[in-house]
Amino acid sequence: MMKAPVIKILLALLVMGGIGWTQAKPDCASTVTALEERVEAQRRMLWDWAGLIRYGSENTELPRPRPSEDRVVFLGDEITESWGQSQAKFFPGKPYFNRGIAGQTTPQMLVRFRQDVINLKPKVVVILAGANDIASVNAPITQGMMAENMMSIVELAKANNIRVVLASLTPINDYHAKQSLLRPFGKIIGVNNWLKEYAAQSGSVYLDYYSAMAEGRNLKKELSDDGLLPNDAGYAVMAPLAETAIAQALGRQ
């Protein structure tokens, strides 16, 4: 038989373990939720790698733009897709179409560019892409490969008489989560430098979200709730900058 002191020690360990398990339970639940979301995203990608299903039906229902209509398509990832899903509306009353898909990288956007941009016959496309390439969300990709994808997208747009706005990557911060583990500050700055140079070289408009949203190299804390995605205040900063860049692309500034 176990002696009483040994039994007491075992009971104490079980109680302590139970307390630890109870305290860790919320963290475990959030981890499970995140993993389930990741599995679902991977499942969708296996079925439809480029995301052609996402806007396919919606695109076919759009009428051709009127001659006087300044139609604009916003192409991007989760930062674009989330725009308009909260209180900050997505350019109400404007013929602007959101074609963002969370988690996407530049090769996926290149594949769906004809369906989600060219076929909509916009006058302008606003491209915000590259943050998930840096993070190697789907597979490792070099900055050179990302640049080639972006150049192909721009060349396709210009071949179809669509004016191009190249948006800078938005800054990040580590206040809420360690966003810089996947998207290092230096890489974001490096991509933005290339985008600015290529915009000038290709005759595109460079849309500088970064300078307006950064404090030092950090995303201003009040502009995001997670350090990556803009919140309503963040989109409120971005919207007039996008409008100015679109007007410039249309030759009105």
Is pTM beyond 0.85? Reply is no
* Amino acid found at 245: A
Tally the residues of the chain. 253
Which tens digit of pLDDT belongs to each residue from 138-152? 888 999 999 999 999
In sequence order, the 6+-apart residues with CB closer than 8 A to the CB of 62 are: 97, 120
Give the helix ranges, DSSP H, for the chain: 4-47, 52-61, 78-81, 106-111, 113-116, 131-134, 143-159, 185-202, 209-213, 232-249
- Reply yes or no on whether the pLDDT at 3 is more than 60: no
In sequence order, the 6+-apart residues with CB closer than 8 A to the CB of 222 are: 233
User: 97: which strand partners?
Assistant: 73
CB 83 within 8 A of CB 235: yes
- Reply yes or no on whether the pLDDT at 43 is more than 70: no
- Cα-flanking dihedrals φ and ψ of residue 206, to 5°? -95, 125
Check residue 88 and give its pLDDT: 82
- Reply yes or no on whether the pLDDT at 18 is more than 50: no
* 133-138 mean pLDDT: 94
CB 98 within 8 A of CB 80: yes
Check residue 10 and give its pLDDT: 40
CB 89 within 8 A of CB 42: no
* 170-178 mean pLDDT: 95
- Reply yes or no on whether the pLDDT at 185 is more than 50: yes
- Cα-flanking dihedrals φ and ψ of residue 17, to 5°? -65, -40
Task: Tell me the average pLDDT of the chain.
Answer: 88
Check residue 41 and give its pLDDT: 59
- Reply yes or no on whether the pLDDT at 4 is more than 70: no
As a whole number of angstroms, the distance between CA 246 and CA 124 comes to 7
Structure tokens given for 116? 């989600």
CA atoms within 13 A on the CB side of 89: 5
